Amino acid sequence: MASDTTATVRKGSCLCGNIKYELTGEPFNALLCHCLNCKKVTGSPFWGNGWFFKKQITIHATPEDSIKTYEDSATDGGSLLLRKFCGRCGATMFVESELGPEIIIVSVGSLDKGEKPWKTAKECYAKDSFGWGPNGEGVEVTQGPFVLDKAES
Ligand SMILES: [Zn+2]
Ligand SMILES: [Zn+2]
């Protein structure tokens, strides 16, 4: 993506600013997850995110150990999720998973003021939805987990 000078660049950070990042280009997937674990970790009715390739993101953490990892093994699908958060302010930032070592999932709510959010495409775990929406038009809703199609890199 570095050679594409027209690609969108978005900046984001945690609440306290110890973790900052730049994202280049669009996510190859974006979804709202209503699963119980995403509710717990965000404290919200659902977690909105974007799926990127790691080569699209540059992360700056000051101090370097600002990014803490919670190993979430009690997932519905049974796969281990590495949930990354700020050790100072607790902001939910990223998720990495054994399903795709080249993939990083980014919290859409961590985008900085003025940055245009990407559009969400899917909702998953609708069976666990509180019914707080959004069920946006054109959004594909699945009752269970999101199944990753073969990602293009
Ligand atoms: Zn922070
Ligand atoms: Zn979830």
Q: How far is the CA of 52 from the centre of ligand 2 (A)?
A: 16
- How many angstroms is it from 90 CA to the middle of ligand 1? 6
Distance 18 CA to ligand 2 centre (A): 25
Class for domain 9-126, per CATH? mainly beta
- Return the closest-CA partner of residue 14 out of 78, 48, 82, 60: 60
Rounded to whole angstroms, the Cα distance separating 55 from 31 reads 20
Q: What is the pLDDT of residue 27?
A: 96
The 3-state DSSP class for residue 128 equals: helix
- pTM score, whole prediction: 0.88
Which ligand number lies closest to the CA of residue 83? 2
Confidence of residue 134 (pLDDT cuts 50, 70, 90): low
- Identify the CA nearest to 6 among candidates 21, 20, 22, 26: 26
* Dist. CA 64 → ligand 2 center (Å): 27
pLDDT in tens, 64-121: 999 999 999 998 888 899 999 999 999 999 999 987 899 999 999 999 999 999 988 7
pLDDT at 143: 82
Q: Where are the beta strands (DSSP E) in the chain?
A: 9-13, 19-24, 29-33, 47-53, 57-61, 67-72, 81-86, 92-97, 103-107, 122-124, 140-141
**Token pair listed for 141:** 């809703």
Cα 20 to middle of ligand 1, angstroms = 9
Strand partners, 49: 31, 107
Query: Ligand 2 center to residue 58 CA distance, Å?
Result: 24
Domain residue spans of the chain? 9-126
